[in-house]
Copies of this chain bind each other. A is one copy, B any other.
Amino acid sequence: MRKVALGIDIGGTNTDIAFVDREGSCLGEDRLSTSDFPQPEVFVAALAEKVRLLERSLPEPVEVIGIGIGAPMGNINKGTIEEPADLQWKGITPLADLLREHIDLPILVTNDANAAAVGEMIYGEAKGMKNFAVITLGTGLGSGIVIDGKLLYGQDGFAGEVGHTIVRPGKTNRECGCGRYGCLETYVSATGLKRTLFKIMSDSIEPSELRDMSFNEMTSLDIAEAAERGDVLAKRAFDHTGEMLGLKLADLVAHTNPEAIFLFGGLALAKGLIMEPTQRAFHDNLLSIYRGKVKLLASGLTSKSSAVLGASALAWDQYDAGNA
């Protein structure tokens, strides 16, 4: 019987589930709405039912070795989701305990960036690497740091919040969803890119096709497409974003000296637009002892299902450790 892991990626809008084998092949996937469920208990019951139906619909019988869950503010130590800004469940949700009432399997819960890092290690470009980091560029900026082949969780399970390192301290700088000001993710993320573009549009009088779109309707994809078509302001917004990211990735290296840093997620798909200015700033700001040693790469997981793949990798990583 084929062994598979169940990956669950919980986002503010949707939750993806997938059964994934050790090589990263997805045997079946499905989705349910997260936002339809104000009560986590009801959500978990619906989730468990989806999982049962999906397993039954798979082309072959499988042995499920465990469940990996990526969720905002997922706490690996307790299997909880704690005070997530992006979910409607307030306080502390004992997610693993709730799910265990329905499914009797090992369950690991961590945030989506940590899951992405393990996904990179199990299925992606970080195979065989011992020290690396993954930066996820979506609505916010997440990070997962691997040290000596193991995810860095820190004392309370919350290591790797690089999106909330501060680039511009003080209340005159950009307000962050975390309640502080000047956090990296207010500059470097899909939303940060858009905020930078709006700043550039306000400072400059140069024309841009993006001046016809509202803040709420504009996505990072619109900015990427405008930049590809030669829009000067859109291009400049990417350059500023990359400059800030490269600077702070140099700081990340000064903390943890990884072998490589991978960029993952929607904004990272803009390829050269974001990669080139980031590479430049990264190199310029790197302490000499690290120069030429730390690679800055695009993630090897570039499909739409990358997040749920990463979640499933958590279960494989634990399974491998138990069978080493």
Contacts and interface: CB of A to CB of B under 8 A. Distances in A.
Chain copies in the assembly?
Answer: 2
Contacts of A252: 255
B258 A161 contact: no
Given A160-B255, A255-B252, A83 B154 contact: no
Contacts of A232: none
A317 interface: no
B155 A258 contact: yes
Interface stretch (A39-47, A210-218, A285-293): A285-293
A247 B166 contact: yes
A287 B180 contact: yes
A271 to B, nearest CB: 25
Interface string A80-95: 0011000000000000
A147 interface: yes
Contact of A258 (B154, B180, B251, B258): B154
A158 interface: yes
A156 interface: yes
Nearest to A259: B155
Contacts of A178: 287-288
A159 interface: yes
Contact of A156 (B145, B155, B257): B257
A-B residue pairs, 10 tightest by C-beta: A154-B257, A159-B257, A155-B259, A165-B251, A131-B155, A161-B254, A255-B255, A164-B287, A165-B254, A158-B257
